[in-house]
Structure 1
Amino acid sequence: MQALLRLSRGVDWLNTQVGKIVIWLILGSAGISALNAIVRKVFDTSSNAFLEVQWYLFAASFLLAAGYTLLQGEHVKVDVLSSRFAKRTQIWIEIFGFLCFLTPMCLAVLWYGTPFFLRGLASGEMSSNAGGLIRWPVYLMIPAGFTLLLLQGWSELIKRVAFLQGLIEDPTAKKAEKSAEEELAEAIRNLAEAAKGSSQNKTLGS
């Protein structure tokens, strides 16, 4: 079990890093959307590539962050009934869910989604829209995202079994840590303050 817990910590670390990176894709998608709107209004022109890269980034952020979202316990759960049960019963319900629902679903998507990506990669499939983008990068998000989700599901399963054995604390308890969104907001504030400080230094120097 200790080896499995080390594996679980490794998966948690991986999805945490992915979550910190993927959050920037949402900012990028919003920036491209704003730029596309400005270009369309000012120059009366647009590009399907601009439109498609937006949903490429959105698809990547949604799929790649699925494992991170599970790690944070933010997936939607119907806990109206389970919340009335004892903690150990709730844990057993979640173990059942990971084994009988999440794992088969992820394996099924990987079974069908991986060949779908490989066909797109081999054929060099392009968007049917004029000026559109190549398709395989967004197809790659399917096996990549569901692999991360499957690994996180197994990590959560390991932690719940370890909890039932009394080896770790309750893995469902919320931890008082900064979310990826909070870290992104802090990074943006730091960049803004650094830019402001640089501008003031240049003014004083001149």
Structure 2
Amino acid sequence: MTDSLSTPNNALARLMLKIADVFEAIILKVSAVCCWSSALLIVVIICNVTMRYGFQNGLILFEEIQWHLYAIGIMFGLSYAEITNSQVRVDVVASMLKTKTVLKWEIFGAIVFVFPTIFVILFNSFDYVANSYLLGESSSSPLGMPFRWLIKSAIPASFILLAMAVLARLFRNIITITQKEA
């Protein structure tokens, strides 16, 4: 989680900090559940390999479950990476800039690039999931997974969490910049 210096003086900053804390707490709770997808993924891979090479009988169902578990781990991991400041960035450039400049670039990037991207994905993903549900979409494989809409619903869910994470970080960056200037 990003740090703001101390408890802010004005009411708006305290509200922003409280919202950031609530959003981050939600993300941490969801991430604590979703992180188990990696452990489950390992178990499914071991079962799949054992079935395929030990008994010459692999199951398509196991392969599809693997894809879904990868998706859960990666998509929900985005918001966790954002609030823990473990996302990929160009640290070589950031290390040469002043802290205030880095924070301003982060604010600019969130507003100009990240939020519009999240909006477009969310705007389109709800219809994507709804159409899948209405069609009763399932795997094209006879022994594949049913309820394809369920994994597709990870798209809007994970991007809502990502929006919350970016907003929390944006609030903390704004508070940090305004406190340093005060």
TM-score of the pair, normalised by structure 2: 0.88
Residues 87-126 of structure 1 mapped to structure 2, 5 A cutoff: 87-126=99-138
Q: Secondary structure at the match of 1:65?
A: helix
- Percent identical pairs in the alignment equals 24
2:59 matched to which residue of 1?
Answer: 47
Equivalent-residue separation in structure 2 for 1:121 and 1:69 (angstroms): 30
1:146 matched to which residue of 2?
Answer: 159
1:127 aligns with 2:136: no
Residues 28-43 of structure 1 mapped to structure 2, 5 A cutoff: 28-43=40-55
Q: Which amino acid aligns with 2:151?
A: V
Q: Which amino acid aligns with 1:106?
A: I
Residue 33 of structure 1 contacts residue 54 of structure 1 at CA under 8 Å; is this kept in 2?
yes
1:16 matched to which residue of 2?
Answer: 28
CA RMSD of aligned residues (A): 1.2
Equivalent-residue separation in structure 2 for 1:56 and 1:95 (angstroms): 33
Equivalent-residue separation in structure 2 for 1:47 and 1:89 (angstroms): 53
Equivalent-residue separation in structure 1 for 2:53 and 2:101 (angstroms): 57
Q: Bigger radius of gyration, 1 or 2? A: 1
Residues 172-187 of structure 1 mapped to structure 2, 5 A cutoff: none
Equivalent-residue separation in structure 1 for 2:76 and 2:136 (angstroms): 23
Once the two structures are TM-superposed, the CA of residue 83 in structure 1 deviates from its matched residue by 2.2
Unaligned runs of 5+ in 1: 168-206
Aligned equivalent of 2:173, options 160, 165, 180: 160
Equivalent-residue separation in structure 2 for 1:53 and 1:82 (angstroms): 39
Report the more deviating stretch, 67-76 or 40-49.
40-49
Q: Which amino acid aligns with 1:73?
A: N
Once the two structures are TM-superposed, the CA of residue 124 in structure 1 deviates from its matched residue by 1.1
Q: Secondary structure at the match of 1:88?
A: helix
Q: Secondary structure at the match of 1:51?
A: helix
Report the more deviating stretch, 76-85 or 49-58.
76-85
Q: Residues 155-205 of structure 1, C-alpha deviation per residue, up to 9 Å, x if partnerless? A: 0000001111228xxxxxxxxxxxxxxxxxxxxxxxxxxxxxxxxxxxxxx
Equivalent-residue separation in structure 1 for 2:40 and 2:67 (angstroms): 11
Q: Secondary structure at the match of 1:84?
A: coil
Equivalent-residue separation in structure 2 for 1:98 and 1:79 (angstroms): 17
Q: Which amino acid aligns with 1:149?
A: L
Residue 25 of structure 1 contacts residue 61 of structure 1 at CA under 8 Å; is this kept in 2?
yes
Residue 18 of structure 1 contacts residue 65 of structure 1 at CA under 8 Å; is this kept in 2?
no
TM-score of the pair, normalised by structure 1: 0.78
Q: Which runs of 4+ in 1 moved over 4 A?
A: none
Q: Secondary structure at the match of 1:80?
A: helix
Q: Which amino acid aligns with 2:128?
A: F
